[in-house]
């Protein structure tokens, strides 16, 4: 049993360890370690295409995570007030958004966006007074929308769990002590759910930042970091790719660990 578990972990983590190891390879060959060097990190960070893709990924990640956090938290708060049947339906829908494969979401979003853009562009052209009506097209907006929709489900699930552990008691106590619903939200509810809101934001950002599949379908001409990496690999795996992967890995780990810490912190204060 122990051997099995060990081999599972070895199988899982050896490739990752190798990527990190080879990102420090002095030679250009990806199968032979010829000496320690950080030159590939320097190369990666001075690659203009790469930096552009990184910037795109950061913008998409930050905007989509912000939107997802805002709407996801609002959805979680709103779902507290609906009936049990409505809540069950929405729970199922949010769970579905998380378990549906990325490929399906990617294709579905692409098809939907193209349809909507077709109709909207036609309508815009018809009513636009000038010669060159604005055209909606795939790009930042579509990646942000696709990522935002998906990660909103994630945020909602996380914040909902926290709200459920909060109970109605302190909200009623606040109301009993003359606080208006608005004051109760800012003074009592928000401080209590804030760790889970931040955790939701970090996970949403991490997801968006790491996502290749959905972005690949809806990105149009834009290049995000995972799309850039995918495109480069077709020209062969260089230690530069390994360096990028290692940096993304470390950044993602930091974000996810922070999210976990925040969620644990939230639970601790909940039990007291």
Partner 1 sequence: MASALPNDIEFRSVTKAYGAVTAVRDINLAIPKGSFLALLGPSGCGKTTCLRMIGGFEQPSEGKILIDGREMNGVPAYRRPVNMVFQHYALFPHFNVEQNVAYGLRQMRPRISETEITRRVAEALSMVRLDGFAKRRTHEMSGGQQQRVALARAIVNRPAVLLLDEPLAALDKKLRSAMQIELQTLQRELGITFVLVTHDQEEALSMADQVCVMSAGRIRQIGSPQAVYDRPADLFVADFVGKINRFSAVLDADRLTARLADGRALSLGTARDLAPGRIELALRPEAIRLEKADGEHPLSGIVTHRIFLGSGVEYAVQVEGFGDFLVTSDRSSGETGLAAPGDAVSLTFGPAAIHAFHASEDA
**Residue in 27, 123, 172, 257 binding partner 1, rule: CB under 8 A:** 172
Q: 50 or 189: whose CB is closer to partner 1?
A: 189
User: Cα–chain-centroid distance for residue 263?
Assistant: 17
Closest CA to 140 of 241, 235, 52: 52
Backbone angles phi, psi at 25, to 5 degrees: -70, 135
Nearer to partner 1, 14 or 269 (CB): 269
Tell me if residue 254 falls in helix, strand or coil.
helix
User: Quick one: which of 202, 253, 211 has its CA closest to 62?
Assistant: 202
| Choice between 159 and 214, CB closer to partner 1 | 159
Nearest-approach distance from CB 180 to partner 1, in angstroms: 6
Backbone angles phi, psi at 14, to 5 degrees: -60, -50
The yes or no reply on residue 165 touching partner 1 (CB under 8 A) is no
> Can residue 173 be called a binding residue for partner 1 (CB under 8 A)?
yes
Does 174 bind partner 1 (CB under 8 A)? Our answer is: yes
Chain-centroid distance, C-alpha 60: 9
Of 20 and 270, CB closest to partner 1: 270
The answer to whether 77 and 248 have CB atoms below 8 angstroms apart is no
Tell me the number of residues near partner 1 by CB under 8 A. 20
CB of 270 to partner 1, least distance (A): 8
Site residues for partner 1, 134-153, by CB under 8 A, read none
By CB under 8 A, tell whether 81 contacts partner 1: no
Site string for partner 1, 184-213 (x = CB under 8 A): ---xx--xx---------------------
Tokens of 34: 């010829």
- Residue 40's CB is within 10 A of a number of other CB atoms, namely 22
Does residue 170 bind partner 1 (CB under 8 A)? yes
Contact 217, 106 (CB under 8 A): yes
Binding site for partner 1 (CB under 8 A): 169-170, 172-181, 183, 187-188, 191-192, 269-270, 272
């Amino acid at each position: 049993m122990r051997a099995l578990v060990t081999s599972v972990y070895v199988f899982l983590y050896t490739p990752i360890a190798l990527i990190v190891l080879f990102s420090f390879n002095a030679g250009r060959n990806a199968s032979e370690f010829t000496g320690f060097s950080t030159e590939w990190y320097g190369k990666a960070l001075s690659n203009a295409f790469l930096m552009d893709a990184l910037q795109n990924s950061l913008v998409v990640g930050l905007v989509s995570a912000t939107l997802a956090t805002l709407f996801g938290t609002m959805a979680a708060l709103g779902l507290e007030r609906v009936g049990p049947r409505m809540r069950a339906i929405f729970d199922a829908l949010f769970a579905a958004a998380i378990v549906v494969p990325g490929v399906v979401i990617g294709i579905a979003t692409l098809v939907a966006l193209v349809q909507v853009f077709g109709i909207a562009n036609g309508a815009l052209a018809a009513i636009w007074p000038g010669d060159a009506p604005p055209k909606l097209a795939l790009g930042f907006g579509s990646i942000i929308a696709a990522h935002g929709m998906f990660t909103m489900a994630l945020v909602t699930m996380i914040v909902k769990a926290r709200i459920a552990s909060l109970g109605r008691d302190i909200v009623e106590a606040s109301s009993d002590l003359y606080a208006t619903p608005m004051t109760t939200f800012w003074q009592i509810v928000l401080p209590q759910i804030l760790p889970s809101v931040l955790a939701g934001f970090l996970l949403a950002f991490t997801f968006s930042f790491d996502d290749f599949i959905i972005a690949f379908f809806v990105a149009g001409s834009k290049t995000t970091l995972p799309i850039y990496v995918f495109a480069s690999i077709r020209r062969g795996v260089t230690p530069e790719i390994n360096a990028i992967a290692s940096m993304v890995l470390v950044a993602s780990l930091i974000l996810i660990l922070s999210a976990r810490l925040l969620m644990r912190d939230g639970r601790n204060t909940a039990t007291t």
